[in-house]
Structure 1
Amino acid sequence: MDEAIFAGGCFWCTEAVFQRVKGVERVKSGFCGGHIKNPAYREVVQGRTGHAEAIHLTYDSERVSYEDLVAVFMATHDPTTLNRQGYDVGTHYRSAIFYLNEQQEKTAREVIKNMEEKAVDTDPIVTEIAPATAFYPAEDIHDEYYNNNREQGYCQNIIDPKIRKLMTGFKELVK
């Protein structure tokens, strides 16, 4: 099994998307890219730790490539807004790919370069590409948030459209 870490705004959103990608075996919400050990959610959302809300996923590279995971990630959030995803604002909602090795860094940069060359987005991509720091799991209450709360307005208005993007744009990758 291989691993990847992505930060695309609220981790409830990215968790819900990647739980539906074939080859992804486990998705855990948490925090990465900060400067203190074992941050609590309340500290992260106050912007005091430097962490981003992120997901750590374990996947089978025989079934889904890292390149495909990066493509899904980039398509299911807005990589052109700095420290913001929709109504969620702050450095902890930044777009970031935290790479675990040189090949992941190279792949992430290539995917973004291809997007820029094809002018997929009209605004510049601001996704941070940085070496992974320690990943700290979020409190268990955040696990399976979308799956357990689909009737909530946030899930219907913010997460459902991201799931639809996955289902329509990456049919071959959906479980």
Structure 2
Amino acid sequence: MSEERITLAGGCFWCIESAFNQIEGVISAFSGYANGDTENPTYEAVCTGNTGHAEVVQVSFDTNIISRREILEIFFALHDPTQLNRQGNDIGTQYRGGIYYTSNEQKEEAEAILKEMRDEEIYLAPIVTEVKALSSYFQAEDYHQDYFNNNPENVYCNMVVAPKLAKFKKTFAKRLKA
């Protein structure tokens, strides 16, 4: 096994984490907070927008099964890279789009995909997903891990996460774990 880890911000972490945990080759996906100024932030503090942290998912994957590029392609299918400091109705800097890399290879792959999307004019609006080195990561509280599966009655999960995951499952059916 050849394990790699990348940290991705694409709005609310519940959806991103749930999607990645269903992908073949993903070893783990944990919700957390990254690239902010506050040590050991709490969900409540991050929600204020004052910590500098983004809600993120730290994805560990086996590069013998799934490539870095495929991980990033899935990520871009899960969030709108043209929305600055928001995803849908989730608004604030904590919901910004970001790829937080830990190697030059990750940075180069992320920048290459962004360049391709810009060159192909896939989006009408400018792409604002940031690409930065991972400066800090704190795993979110236990109750945020596997939140969608553990909270099927949650209104947000039913109204926002479930439809997004249904579309995701159709698009990436061949990549899902058995």
TM class by shorter chain equals: over 0.9
Per-residue Cα deviation, 1:129-155 (whole angstroms, up to 9, x for no partner): 000012101110111110112232211
Which runs of 5 or more structure 2 residues have no equivalent in the other structure?
A: none
Name the counterpart of 2:162: 160
Query: Does the 8 Å CA contact 1:94/1:127 hold for their aligned counterparts?
Result: yes
Q: How many residues are paired up?
A: 175
Q: Given residue 148 of structure 2, which amino acid in structure 1 is its aligned partner?
A: Y
Q: Which moved more, 1:41-50 or 1:92-101?
A: 41-50
Name the counterpart of 1:170: 172
Partner-residue secondary structure (3-state), 1:13: helix
Name the counterpart of 1:71: 73
Pairwise mapping of residues 90-101 of structure 1 onto structure 2 (< 5 A)? Answer: 90-101=92-103
| Distance 1:164-1:117 versus aligned 2 partners, 3 A rule | farther
Q: Which moved more, 1:91-100 or 1:142-151?
A: 142-151
Per-residue Cα deviation, 1:94-134 (whole angstroms, up to 9, x for no partner): 00000111000000011111122222222111101000012
Q: Given residue 63 of structure 1, which amino acid in structure 2 is its aligned partner?
A: I
Following TM superposition, by how much is the alpha carbon of 1:89 offset from its aligned partner in structure 2, in angstroms? 0.5
Following TM superposition, by how much is the alpha carbon of 1:67 offset from its aligned partner in structure 2, in angstroms? 0.6
Name the counterpart of 1:143: 145
Pairwise mapping of residues 78-89 of structure 1 onto structure 2 (< 5 A)? Answer: 78-89=80-91
Per-residue Cα deviation, 1:17-36 (whole angstroms, up to 9, x for no partner): 11111100111111001012
| Aligned CA-pair RMSD | 1.2
Name the counterpart of 1:9: 11
Per-residue Cα deviation, 1:6-64 (whole angstroms, up to 9, x for no partner): 01011111101111111001111110010121111111111111000001111111111
Query: Does the 8 Å CA contact 1:17/1:162 hold for their aligned counterparts?
Result: no
The two structures have a TM-score, normalised by structure 2, of 0.94
Task: Output the CA distance in 2 between the equivalents of 1:64 and 1:164.
Answer: 21
Following TM superposition, by how much is the alpha carbon of 1:85 offset from its aligned partner in structure 2, in angstroms? 0.7
**Aligned partner (choices 44, 47, 50) of residue 49 of structure 2:** 47
Instruction: Give the % identical residues.
Output: 39
Partner-residue secondary structure (3-state), 2:19: helix
**Aligned partner (choices 110, 113, 135) of residue 111 of structure 1:** 113
Query: Does the 8 Å CA contact 1:5/1:55 hold for their aligned counterparts?
Result: yes
Q: Given residue 109 of structure 1, which amino acid in structure 2 is its aligned partner?
A: E
Q: Which moved more, 1:47-56 or 1:117-126?
A: 117-126
Name the counterpart of 2:122: 120
The two structures have a TM-score, normalised by structure 1, of 0.95
